[in-house]
Amino acid sequence: MKYPLYSLSALILVSGYLYGHENVSKSGALIQVPSTEVLSAMTQVRDDFQVGFSIKGTSVFVDCYTREYSFTPNSEKPLASVLVYVDGTKMDEMRTAAFIVKDLSQGKHRIKVKLIDDQKQTTYTKEFTVHIQSSL
């Protein structure tokens, strides 16, 4: 696999660096809650599948949100996973809502995420373009 993907635990560890070191303990656990303004903004969005991302060096941190599905097997909601494509090539199937696409080359890349249900049927698709400035 050309661009490795990492799960939520890796994202939590790195998010402390991106969003301030005080948000993550040495064990990687979050120790602060988002402000009420952030939570309020999140609850006002009507989209049933949202994808956010941020870029740090050659890595893209992706976070997916859906009201209809869960990534946790013991949830009451139907189980889902995310198919990840980079520049039209399928990279992996992620079973977490947050993950990292690492080691992208310099330049523009098209990333597509497909939310699929437990029967492997595509439910939602989102695409976005990232521009990697440097390999440092």
Provide the residue type at 35 as one letter: S
Q: Which CATH superfamily is domain 5-132 in?
A: Immunoglobulins (2.60.40.10)
Q: Give yes or no for a contact between 83 and 90, defined as CB atoms under 8 angstroms apart.
A: yes
Tell me how far apart the alpha carbons of residues 82 and 126 are, in angstroms, rounded to a whole number.
11
Residue 25 has a pLDDT of 39
14 pLDDT band, cuts 50/70/90, is very low
Which residues does residue 109 pair with via DSSP β-bridges, in sequence order?
A: 130
Neighbouring residues of 37: CB distance < 8 A, sequence distance ≥ 6: none
Q: Which residues of 85-110 are buried (b: 16+ CB within 10 A; e: fewer)?
A: bbeeeebbebebbbbbbeebeeeebe
Give mean pLDDT, residues 28-43: 45
56-84 pLDDT per residue, tens = 999 999 999 999 999 998 999 999 999 99
Choice between 3 and 53, residue whose per-residue pLDDT is larger: 53
What are the two backbone dihedrals, phi and then psi, of residue 68, each rounded to the nearest 5 degrees?
-85, -25
pTM: 0.66
Domain chopping of the chain, boundaries: 5-132
The amino acid occupying position 133 is Q
- pLDDT recorded at residue 94: 95
